[in-house]
Amino acid sequence: MKLVTFYSGRGINIVKGENQYVWDDKGNKYLDLHAGHGVAFLGHNNKTIVRYLEKQMSEIMTLTTAFNTPIREEMLKELDKVKTGNLDNVFLLNSGSEAVELAMKSARKITGRKKFIAFKNSFHGRTSGSLSVTWTKRYREPFEPLLGPVDFLDFNNIDELKKIDENTAAIIVEPVQGEGGVIPAKEDFMKALKEVSQDKGALLIVDEVQSGFGRTGRVWAHQHFGIVPDIMTAGKAIGGGFPVSAVFMPDWIAEKLGEGDHGTTYGGNPMAAAAVTAATKVLVEENVAEQAKEKGEIFMRMLKDSLGDFKSVREIRGLGLMIGIDLRLNPAHAIKVLQDSKILSLKAGLTVIRFLSPYMITQEDMEMVVNAARKGISETESKAVTS
């Protein structure tokens, strides 16, 4: 039997992880700034999360939301501590793509409209619905026709918002575009987006699957901009490593959704509820968002001070511990040099080295990254000159 994968192999056999580090089968230790596409923001094998999962596993693992169970009640109390605005209702699913699917379905039912607005360089998932609002054409085109109509507008361009009309069911946006290149939204753009959505009677869906749960220096990235979405999706870090996602919505939307409008076999299972409960406890008790803010500022400053003199570095940008180095060259060689230096990172867009650090990253770790990045970018520039 062969395992089908849709990612290029990295040539490492990982056997263990703890906090911000992983180890391969040869005993080599790596600083993990790939973190499972950002899932391990709270660290590998976080002790609080593991403890909650082990306890729940010994009690009951499988139970649909048709039945009550104590761990879900505990989870709801913990989530109340990180609630944003009037988003008092949560529905649990298994992946970010599934969360986006429910958000889009809800928008169509609530508004009675069909059209969606998304943005260039966006990424919202790979299921048919979420893929339809994902910008990258090589992801979309082999599977078209997808859900439509969808209009893609320029990100961070307020003038483009004039194209949004009364036929729009929802506008979906990432507060920081992750896959598209680690591009933070501008505050005036996000505020204008909220105003336009209200004016046109469309719902504003904010996709926080990658940016949410403390990573950018606030619990939710949209809080940087002083807005509250109509629907918010979350995932990745919210389960501390366990596969779970969530859709948050206010009463006035939740009350209009009925039995059969959506469903999920595994969504909201007791193990997922235990993971979210524990992850939220860690987020609050460890003041994770503030740590991400402070460490992200230090990391960004170190990167800019050390790499700013390279001609190939177009920009170093991000929010909190969601950071990208945008090159004028293909970043593949630099990412390989980082890996050879025992640092795992990943690509974003066509030209960006992306760092999705666990929140417990240290200044010593950052110094190691800066030194390896200098080496990788220097070699990348030299290869470009000689080719």
Torsion sign, CA atoms 281, 282, 284, 289: negative
Are 186 and 222 within 8 A, CB to CB?
Answer: no
210 is in an annotated binding site: yes
For the chain, the distance separating the N- and C-terminal CA atoms, rounded to the nearest angstrom, is: 41
Crossing angle of helices 270-285 and 288-307, rounded to 10°: 70
380 is in an annotated binding site: no
The pairing of strands 89-93 and 346-348 is unpaired
DSSP symbols for 65-129: TTS--HHHHHHHHHHHTT--TT--EEEEESSHHHHHHHHHHHHHHHH---EEEEETT----SSHH
207 is in an annotated binding site: yes
CA 148/CA 136 separation, integer angstroms: 16
168 is in an annotated binding site: no
CA 100/CA 106 separation, integer angstroms: 10
Torsion sign, CA atoms 200, 189, 88, 322: positive
10 is in an annotated binding site: no
50 is in an annotated binding site: no
209 is in an annotated binding site: yes
CA 70/CA 294 separation, integer angstroms: 36
The owner of tokens 């700034």 is 33
CA 169/CA 146 separation, integer angstroms: 16
264 is in an annotated binding site: yes
Residue ranges of the annotated binding site for substrate are 126, 264
Residue ranges of the annotated binding site for pyridoxal 5'-phosphate are 123, 207-210, 265
Residue ranges of the annotated binding site are 123, 126, 207-210, 264-265
